[in-house]
Chains A and B, each alone.
Chain A
Amino acid sequence: MKRNNTVMDRVFVALVFVFLYAPIFLLIIFSFNAGNSNTVWRGFSLDWYRELFSDRVIMRSVYTTLLVSILATVIATFAGTFAAIGFYGMRRRKRNVLTTVNNIPMMNADIVTGVAMCLFFVAFFHGWGAFAKWFNGIQALVSLPERLTMGFGTLLIAHITFNIPYVILSVSPKLRQMDKNLVDAAMDLGCTWMQAFWKVILPEIKPGIVSGALTAFTMSIDDFIISYFTAGSSSSTLAMTIYGMTKKRVTPEINAISTILFCTVLLLLVITNIREARQEQLELRRRKLPTATAAEAAQYASRPTSRLPKLLAAGGAAALVLCVTVMAGRNAGKPVVNICSWGEYIDESLIDQFEQKTGIMVNYQTAESNEALYSLLKSGAGDYDVVVPSDYMISQLIEEDMLEELNYDNIPNFGLISDRFKNLPYDPDNKYTVPYTWGTVGIIYNTAMVEEPITSWEVMFSDEYAGSVLMFRNSRDAMACALFYLGYDVNTTDVGQLREAFELLRDAKERGVYQSFVMDEIYGKLEGGNAAIGAYYAGDYLSMVENNPDLAFVIPKEGSNWFVDAMCVLKDAPHKEEAEAWINFIASTDANLANMDYIWYASPNEEALESYPDYYEECYGEELDPEVFEIMAPSQEILDRCQLYLSLPAEIRTLYNDLWTELGI
Chain B
Amino acid sequence: MNTDKLNFVFPSKTKIISMILMAVGLVSIVCMFVFDTNVEDHHYQHNRAWANLFAGSFYFMGIALASVFFLALQYAAESGWSTTIKRLMEAVISFLPYGLSCLLLIFICGQIHLNTIYPWMAEGVSDINSPNYDAVIAGKSGYFGVFWWVRTILYMVAWVLFAWKLRKNSSDADALGIEESKGFHWKNIKLSAYFLVLFAYTSSTAAWDWLMSIDTHWFSTMMGWYVFSGMWVSSMITITLLVVWLKKNGYLEFVTESTVHDIGKWMFAISFLWTYLYFSQFMLIWYADIPEEVVYYKTRWESYKALMWAVFFVNFLFPMVLLMSRDSKRNFYFLVFVGTIIFIGHYLDMIMIVMPGTVGHNWTGLSWMEIGNFLFFLGIFIYVVLTNLAKRPLLVKNHPFLSESLHHSY
Physical interaction between A and B = no
Residues of B within 8 A of A (CB): none
Residues of A within 8 A of B (CB): none
